[in-house]
Amino acid sequence: MRTRNQSRQTQQSIGEEDLMKHPGSISGKFDDSGMLTNISRDAVGRLLKRVKSRGSRGLSRVDESYLQQCHSTGMPESGSKRNSELCFDQTVREDDGCCGRDVITNSLLESGRRGELDESEWEEGSIPAVNLANTSEEHTIGGVTVEFDVTPDSAKKKSARRATAEEKELAELVHKVNLLCLLGRGRSFDSACNDPLIQASLLSLLPTRLLKITEVPKLTAKALASVVDWFHNNFRVRGPGSTQEPPHLALAYALEAHEGTAEEVTALSVALFRALNLTVRFVAILDVVSLKPELDKPESSSQGTGKAGGGIFSSSTLMVTGSGHLSVSPLTTPTSNEKDNGFRTSIGCKRKGKARLLENNPESKDSSPVNNLKDIKMEPSTSDCHDGVSDACLATKPDGSKRKGDLEFEMQLDMALSATAIENSKTIMDSDFADLCGTKSKLLPPAKKMKVVRTEESPVSANGMSTAIGSRKVGAPLYWAEVYCSGENLTGKWVHVDAVNAIIDGEQKVEEAVAACRKSLRYVVAFAGQGAKDVTRRYCMKWYKIASQRINAIWWDAVLAPLKELESQATGGVVHLQHEASKVENMGTLQAAGNQIKDCLPDSCLMSEKSKRQTCEDYSIEKYGRNPFSSMRSSLEDMELETRALTEPLPTNQQAYKNHQLYAIERWLNKYQILHPKGPILGFCSGHPVYPRTCVQTLHTKEKWMREGLQVKAEELPAKIFKRSLKQSEEQAGEDDEVGEGDHLALYGKWQTEPLCLPRAIDGIVPKNERGQVDVWSEKCLPPGTVHLRLPRVALVAKRLEIDYAPAMVGFEFRNGRSVPVFEGIVVCAEFKDAILEAYEEEEERRMAEEKRRNEAQALSRWYQLLSSIVTRQRLNNCYANGSSHEASAGIQKPDDTLSSEVGGNEDGRKFAGCQLDKFKDDKPPAPQFVLADDHEHVFLLDDKMFDEGSSTRTKRCKCGFSIQFEEL
């Protein structure tokens, strides 16, 4: 075992710069010296597992253990610098004697992963532990600062917290956007499948004998076998996925290389079928981000931490994606699959490298995955290739035995690999990897190495199907084709064709395969003719499991409606029975053309969009000409899907009935629900009879029914009675003064109600409730012969006219901690409506006039106040600025009202005001110009007024000598 000190020595011998530049080589050194990383990973896996299992106490206990040991052993002497490091070191040693350096490293990596570090950062971060020892509470790797004591603790807390409404709303929005993006992507690929050049190229590759399929009058699934076999043997799935390129180009590359992502290869199969004049859909599982917030995080974390072998070495899927063998929902949003994104980021450049390679060497048909990997490894920019060794050592212990987690991890890896039928290429890769393992395996990214290990243990069958998954022989297909076989059934049938895995008519297996790979079958969409149709029902037998994970059906149907129409138009017409001879002829021409243009690919794919589109259209018209049965085929399928929806098998677990759309059991009804009628019994689940969901009726109180314009029929007994809560009972009892009267709540079903019959208004009197009002929940709640006048202040009018009315309560609002009724307008007898409205109009006019008058008066008053204030201010300025105390004491301003009266009763004053405040003359009435002294009333004459241009001040003088200065406004 390497100790921490040993590790440090190693680190010291290796400069930081070197670490960053040549992580792989350094990894190699570690690897050579005692499987350090292997041991470390084991330790980290255990540590994190323990931490997770302990929940929030995990790290604190680690700290405590560290502190205790520090005290007991006298370590560490140098303060906090190495605290965290030592802490983990000690803890790990305590457990299994493993080195702590990698524990720290990988713990940090874990943090980094949560911080959405991509794969390259993940790998870079695994080496430079020198950095780690330099900080106490924080550690910096490659510029990323990670606080040490966050990890599983906070993650756990976060996952324990439930999502708020806002978060749910956001998640729903993201979900919708993601769906739309994936729909767009599917349409894109579907469109690419119609590319005549691609189709022609495929035909040119197809052996002539297989063209006979076009001559089959009634196509059956069986007839497809030969073509599917051929395709399966000639096209392989491999990664990294090309997700950045346009589908047309991606297909061209895949066609040339005879390999591509599952999506591309499937699209090629669709293109081939279409070239053969079959009616085909490109089907994809839209692996959309979860509709529920936070759902992805626990999922990923559970995968990452729950598995002993996984732990911070990331979830299995990450490992797989890291290997570049799985391209899943490339347009998923960042929140959907961090793992995918990280993977995608790294593979983007890889694919470009690959693309360049293809362009430079168009004949490199044998560009095997191995070659790809070599290219990848040589790419200096692909930092994710660094430090593969530590991961490479994960799978086996030094002694060769396997740990539980490793086996588990490999199992997951198997699933993912089989999901993309990677087994096809495995056999080829194995031989190459045998060499690589000896020499270059240390340089491989983790999952690449994992794959090597895996292939040693999991022999691949000759036909490329995985045998490692036992019963789950079929991997999780995310893409396949649907071929319309008119020879199936009486009316024809859409047949599932997974050319990638060479599976025909395996629709029943899809759900299981998808579930095995922990993918969700929420949306299965078939694309054709730029349209799309949701065919999830065909593949999902347990709808109740996905129902809650799907967006609300109304929105989804609205989105799909126009696409469905397009799809229906495109797949409705089949012409292969009408012009068979010409078809074969055409195909021969296409094949020849394909041979000519084959070598030009992908350049030929770059033909002008316009001409391409034109070709496409021409071809489509020929191929997808409408026939009179198109709508019938579409509706037949709709019926089929609908039938599946209505004939879902009974779930075997009780909880599934809680919100099941079709079935219900009594124990999962809530208190406002009842079975009526109670039958028929469709089956039993754990002894509970299962009823149709249509038998479930919602119950309400009499009052609640009344709000809906219904009333309980006379002499109807409550369908259900239950006790109120203690408090409610007490309140009710208190009101009724009769204990026991109000402690029960009677509920009625809709079948016990009839339209509301309120007492009619008679003699102009409005029937009111016990509170003297009318509850107007809706128009239905208005007593016959009355109208609701929803006008403000209309009650006053009715009152003035002495017309009987009732305040209209329209609802409640929660205010000041309690519900308060909201009144809007009044309810009056219909015959008074016009009179009231007329009076109301008059009253409103009068009120408006009054209000206007009041406003004007208020404006006047405010002007008075303003001007008085100005005068006062000026006077005080004059008095105190000049230091004339006697003047100050002499000048006392009257209150406004006094001044007003003075002004009003003094002609001279009015005149002076007009002169001296001429600036305000047009806007406002003259202001008072009198200042009263004890024994003298100052009068400011116009002649005595002086104006100073410089300071814009005007000086007024009284004959007595008193003067006031003020600024001209």
Residues in contact with DNA by the rule CB under 7 A: 156, 159-166, 168, 292, 294-295, 298, 404, 408, 548, 652-655, 658-659, 670-672, 685-686, 704, 724-725, 727-728, 769, 771, 773, 775, 796, 809, 811-812, 814-821
Measured CA to CA, the distance from residue 233 to residue 230 in angstroms comes to 5
Q: Residue 780: which residues within 8 A CB-CB, separation 6 or more? A: 708, 709, 755, 756
Is the CB of 796 or the CB of 888 nearer to DNA?
796
Min separation Cβ 811 and DNA, Å: 7
As measured in angstroms, the least distance from the Cβ of 308 to DNA is 7
* CB of residue 206 to DNA, shortest distance in Å: 41
User: 248: Cβ–Cβ under 8 A, 6 or more apart, which residues?
Assistant: 191, 192, 195, 198, 605
Of 21 and 161, CB closest to DNA: 161
Beta-strand runs (E) in 117-166: 138-141, 144-147
Q: Which of 112, 115, 110, 107 is nearest to 85 (CA)?
A: 107
* Cβ burial 282-310 (10 Å sphere, 16+ → b, else e): bbbbbbbbbbebbbbbbebbebbbbbbbb
Q: How far is the CB of 704 from DNA (least distance, A)?
A: 6
Residue of 175, 172, 180 lying closest to 525 (CA atoms) = 180
Pick the closer one to DNA by CB: 815 or 886. 815
* Closest distance of CB 771 from DNA, Å: 5
Contacts of 437 (CB under 8 A, 6+ apart): 449, 452
Which lies closer to DNA via its Cβ, residue 165 or residue 969?
165
Residue with Cβ nearer DNA (11 or 290): 290
By three-state DSSP, how is residue 720 classified? strand
Nearer to DNA, 199 or 314 (CB): 314
Query: Are 827 and 788 within 8 A, CB to CB?
Result: yes
- The answer to whether the CB of 943 falls within 8 A of the CB of 936 is no
For the bound state, the minimum distance from the C-beta of residue 619 to DNA, rounded and expressed in Å, comes to 46
Rounded distance between C-alpha atoms, residue 842 and residue 16, angstroms: 89
What separation in angstroms does the CA of 325 have from each of 121, 237, 270, 315? 20, 8, 21, 15
- Residue 57 or 959 having the CB closest to DNA: 57
Q: Which is nearer to DNA, 597 or 706 (CB)?
A: 706
Q: Which is nearer to DNA, 578 or 655 (CB)?
A: 655
Give me the least distance between CB of 272 and DNA, in Å please: 36
Nearest distance, CB of residue 115 and DNA, angstroms: 22
The nearer residue to DNA, 28 or 298, going by C-beta atoms, is 298
Cα separation values, 613 from 465, 617, 957, Å: 38, 6, 94
Indicate the residue among 659 and 694 with the shorter CB distance to DNA.
659
Distance, CA of 664 to CA of 501 (rounded, Å): 39
Residue 925 C-beta: closest distance to DNA, Å? 22
The SS3 assignment for 661 reads: coil
Question: Rounded CA gap, 65 and 48, in Å?
Answer: 16
Least separation in angstroms between CB 817 and DNA: 3
Residue 749: which region, alpha, beta or left (left: phi > 0; alpha: psi -120 to 50)? beta
Nearer to DNA, 217 or 817 (CB): 817
- Minimum gap (Å) between residue 555 Cβ and DNA: 17
Q: In this structure, which amino acid lies at residue 148?
A: F
CA distance 215 to 361: 38
Least distance from DNA to the Cβ atom of residue 674, Å:
13
Torsion of CA 24, 25, 30, 35, to 10 degrees: 60
Which residue intervals of 442-579 are DSSP H helices? Answer: 446-457, 507-516, 536-539, 543-547, 553-572
